[in-house]
């Protein structure tokens, strides 16, 4: 855990815009993001795993490592994730590249990306990529620190999505809201 925090801080100092958080996600937030997953879950994709706090909760929920694919931009985080989670597929690349690697097979896409710190167009590109790899009834799970959805009502309409607030996690720094996005 200390090693993860040290790596997180190192990457946050080196590239604060990419990390865009004051601390790694808490175990409580990680469990809330992985809620509903289990051994029978189909393929799961994670965007922006960082040091792997959400990854750890996904695997602890029972998702087999072979069913988990991670998309991470930081080469340093990728090395760490490959070492920490054998059997998990780690792709060094942006979330938007997911459709080039996978078909529409994922049951869930779990995102630790700081969407609110990104331009609106990039947010839409990322969520659009998630829905290109999600099966028809798949769910995109995103957390946010802000009071609003990271997608505007117009973006939700354009993408054919609805957003459902799932839960608030007070035991995180800062407190976070977990949101579920699904097709309308």
Domain definitions of the chain by residue range: 2-183
Selecting from 3.40.50.720, 3.10.180.10, 1.10.10.10, 3.40.50.150, what CATH number does the domain 2-183 have? Answer: 3.40.50.150
| Token pair for 109 | 């896409």
Q: Is 165 exposed, middle or buried (0-12, 13-18, 19+ CB in 10 A)?
A: exposed
| Confidence tier at 141 by pLDDT (50, 70, 90) | very high
Q: Shortest CA distance to 176 belongs to which of 2, 43, 23, 1?
A: 23
CB atoms closer than 10 angstroms to residue 142: 28
pLDDT of 171 reads: 92
pLDDT of 54 reads: 98
Whether 6 has a pLDDT exceeding 90, the answer reads no
| Token pair for 49 | 């795993």
* Cis bond upstream, residue 180 (ω within 30): no
In this predicted structure, which of 13-17, 40-44, 52-56, 132-136 has the lowest mean pLDDT? Answer: 13-17
Query: In angstroms, rounded to a whole number, what is the distance separating the alpha carbons of residues 131 and 61?
Result: 23
Mean pLDDT, residues 140-157 = 95
pLDDT of 89 reads: 98
pTM (2 d.p.): 0.88
| Confidence tier at 5 by pLDDT (50, 70, 90) | low
Query: In angstroms, rounded to a whole number, what is the distance separating the alpha carbons of residues 151 and 133?
Result: 19
Strand pairing report for 89-92 and 68-72: parallel
């Amino acid at each position: 855990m200390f090693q993860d925090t040290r790596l997180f801080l190192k990457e946050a100092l080196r590239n604060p815009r990419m990390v865009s958080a004051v601390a790694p996600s808490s175990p409580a937030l990680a469990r809330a993001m992985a809620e509903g997953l289990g051994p029978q879950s189909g393929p799961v994709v994670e965007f922006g795993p960082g040091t792997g706090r959400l990854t750890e909760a996904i695997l602890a929920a029972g998702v087999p490592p072979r069913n988990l694919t991670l998309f991470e931009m930081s080469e340093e985080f990728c090395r760490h994730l490959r070492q920490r989670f054998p059997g998990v597929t780690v792709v060094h690349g942006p979330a938007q590249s997911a459709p080039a690697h996978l078909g529409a097979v994922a049951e869930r896409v779990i995102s630790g990306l700081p969407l609110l710190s990104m331009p609106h167009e990039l947010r839409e590109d990322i969520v659009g990529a998630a829905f290109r790899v999600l099966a028809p009834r798949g769910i995109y799970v995103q957390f946010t620190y802000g009071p609003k959805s990271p997608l505007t009502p117009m973006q939700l309409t354009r993408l054919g999505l609805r957003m459902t607030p799932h839960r608030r996690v007070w035991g995180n720094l800062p407190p976070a809201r977990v949101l579920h996005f699904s097709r309308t």
